[in-house]
Amino acid sequence: MQESTTAGELIAQLKPRKNQLDEHGLLRYGKMLIDGEWVGAASGETFESVYPGTGEVIANVASGGKEDVDRAVAAARRAFEEGEYKKMNGADRGKLLWKIADLMEANIEELAELETIDNGKPLVESLRVDLPQSIACFRYYAGWAGKTTGETIEPHARVNAFAYTLREPIGVCGQIIPWNFPIQMATWKIAPAIACGNTVVIKPAEQTPLSILRLGELMLEAGMPKGVVNIVTGLGETAGAALVDHPGVDKIAFTGSVEVGKLIMRNAAGTLKKVTLELGGKSPNIVFADSNLELAAKVALAGIFFNQGQMCTAGSRILIEASARDQFMEVLAGRAAKMTVGDPLDPKTRMGSLVSEEQMNRVLGYIDKGKEEGARLVAGGNRVGGSGYFVTPTVFDGVNNDMAIAREEIFGPVASVITFNDADEALRIANDSAYGLASAVWTNDLKKALTFARGIKAGTVWINTYNMTDNALPFGGYKDSGFGRELGAAALETYTQTKTVYVDLN
Ligand code: NAI
Ligand code: MG
């Protein structure tokens, strides 16, 4: 493969842009946002942010700890209880969200660049997918601000009262997000929280803090009062854990691994926080022989290889009906073998780098495991490039649903293909998983498709497509994939609480 742009070249490219670099010649994202101010960690500690395309350090980021979280939570509490934000009505908050979206749009190229050099995903994807969807998300929730209202309810028996409910914000929301879609995950959490009148302390993943810090600047520029959104950069075990333990935080919204999700739920019990969890998946993508096989294969490739496979919804288990297997595999494996990985910053690149060395090694470990378990490697399976964390698009055929590569979330460009004989068997295999985030079925038989949609235990079902999402539609998991829904009106439920008011009419 062609070698990636180096960090030095990258920084040289960015240099003309004012205020991009710090005194060490690295990107200037060493401070976090607390109470409307940019501050270093109380401990003075920092951690390195690495460009995955080359493995070079591009920024030293503040490593927030308990003291910083305390300050951020206090600021969020003040903003929630008193001051400018409290006086803002729904229309004001809607305007603020819309203004943030406008400023993101005006700075879309810079944000997309930051997203790519932080995460390793192709620049084209940051620019055409991640950023536009994030901007649209702020606008979607701008429309909801002030519209989360209660109801009047007729008492059912004995009571003679006029009764109604108020839908009120929850308070201070702690939000812990992952590295796979940094700005999108930040948006999915911040926008509904503000629409409902909450305040936020958000902790980005340690691998990808940059675009969110830039978003913080834009939020201030948009006129967001101080303390409404605080960004504490830091490690999970320190900053993340402190947020979960903090008695002043009313709710934790988390996206990440099942392991940390379980830990968060356990730790949040101490202070009885509300918790919503969006954890991973091992989503089945089921292809029946009567479907458009060529299209199904092409979309299945995008379903597993988009974002280098680092997607909670990745279609990582591809189930193909036995009678169509050869025809389908020819397209799937053939095209996978032709896909190339390359410099994330090259506008022609469609597949970039994994996020970190750790994640790359994890993925390569699963590829070895797949071979050991007896699955047949039909495409990819190796690291490429001397520096950077690039793994070729990998396809295993002849996978059995008991194998680790069919049961565990790999979170990388590895597809496991399983063959089935009939619809009952397909549904049984699909549901034989600890996870239940997403699923897809390809068939031209309406009855088969709708029966599958009822039978599958997953939060999303796609019929003859994959990875469709829309800001208006709820997103979340069944089983170990978590609970609570993000996006749509569903997210508003998780950022409000209901108060009941009785007026005696006797
Ligand atoms: P992770 O679950 O450790 O990290 C996600 C977020 O949680 C980060 O912000 C991290 O700092 C924070 N965190 C970690 N430990 C914490 C703790 N004790 N208390 C509070 N916050 C904590 O995920 P990681 O280690 O980056 O990736 C490991 C695997 O997790 C991946 O290979 C993938 O299978 C899965 N994953 C799933 C994601 C999804 O979208 N559902 C996103 C990221 C990872
Ligand atoms: Mg972890």
pLDDT band at 362 (very low <50, low <70, confident <90, very high): very high
Total length of the chain = 506
Residue 7, pLDDT > 70, answer no
For residues 271 and 315, state if they share a domain.
Answer: no
Please tell me whether residues 367 and 252 are part of one structural domain: no
Convert the pLDDT of each residue in 259-286 to its tens digit: 999 999 999 999 999 999 999 999 999 9
pLDDT single digits (tens) 94-144: 999 999 999 999 999 999 999 999 999 999 999 999 999 999 999 999 999
Among 184-193, 327-336, 340-349, 412-421, whose mean pLDDT is lowest?
A: 340-349
Considering the domain architecture, whether residues 232 and 379 belong to the same structural domain is answered as no
Q: What is the pLDDT of residues 192-231, one digit of tens each?
A: 999 999 999 999 999 999 999 999 999 999 999 999 999 9
CA of 17 to the centre of ligand 1 (A): 33
- 17: domain CATH number is 3.40.605.10
Nearest to 203 by CA among 48, 65, 98: 65
Within 10 angstroms of residue 86's Cβ, the number of other Cβ atoms is 13
Of the listed ligands, the closest to the CA of 354 is 1
User: Over the stretch 376-394, which tens digit does the pLDDT of each residue have?
Assistant: 999 999 999 988 999 999 9
| Nearest CA residue ID for atom 4, ligand 1 | 256
| DSSP single-letter state for residue 255 | E
pTM metric for this prediction = 0.96
Instruction: Give, for 367, the enclosing helix (H) or strand (E).
Output: helix 357-372
Give the C-alpha distances (Å, rounded to integers) separating 440 from 56, 256, 449: 38, 22, 9
6 pLDDT above the threshold of 60: yes
Q: Which of 209, 201, 189 is nearest to 68 (CA)?
A: 201
pLDDT of 5 higher than 80 = no
Mutate to test the pocket of ligand 1, among 180, 212, 257, 258 (most ligand atoms within 8 A of CB): 257
Judge whether residue 45 has pLDDT over 50: yes
Q: Which residues contact 485 (CB under 8 A, 6 or more apart)?
A: 276, 459, 474, 475, 476, 491, 493, 494
Higher pLDDT, 83 or 491: 491
Q: What gap in Å lies between CA 27 and CA 8, rounded to an integer?
A: 11
Residues 261 and 309 both lie in one domain: no
CB neighbourhood size of 350 (10 A): 15
Pocket test for ligand 1, best of 411, 475, 487 (most atoms within 8 A of CB): 411
What is the phi/psi pair of residue 275, to 5°?
Answer: -135, 135
Report the atom number in ligand 1 closest to the C-alpha of 234.
11
| 287 pLDDT more than 90 | yes
Spatial separation of the C-alpha atoms in residues 95 and 139, rounded to whole Å: 9
The residue-averaged pLDDT of 383-409 equals: 96
Ligand (nearest to CA of 358): 1
- The whole-angstrom separation of Cα 224 and Cα 194 is 10
Are residues 240 and 364 both part of a single domain? no
Known catalytic residues are 278, 312
CATH of the domain at 467: 3.40.309.10
Q: Tell me what the mean pLDDT of segment 61-89 comes to.
A: 97
441 C-alpha to center of ligand 1: Å? 29
Q: What is the pLDDT of residue 271?
A: 97
Q: Is residue 271 helix, strand or coil?
A: helix
Amino acid identity of residue 311, one-letter, is: M
Ligand 1: which atom is nearest the Cα of residue 482? 41
Q: Which residues pair with 295 in a beta bridge?
A: none
Residues 455, 321 share a domain: yes
Decide if 27 contacts 115 (C-beta within 8 A): no
Q: Phi, psi at residue 206, to the nearest 5°?
A: -65, -25
Distance 357 CA to ligand 2 centre (A): 13
Structural domain of residue 372, as residue ranges? 284-472
Place 16 in a pLDDT band, splitting at 50, 70 and 90: very low
Ligand 1 site residues (CB inside 6 A) read 176-180, 203, 205-206, 235-237, 240-241, 244, 255-257, 260, 263-264, 278-280, 312, 362, 409, 411
Q: What is the mean pLDDT of the chain?
A: 96
Mutation test residue for ligand 1: of 260, 277, 357, 410, the one with most atoms within 8 Å of CB:
260
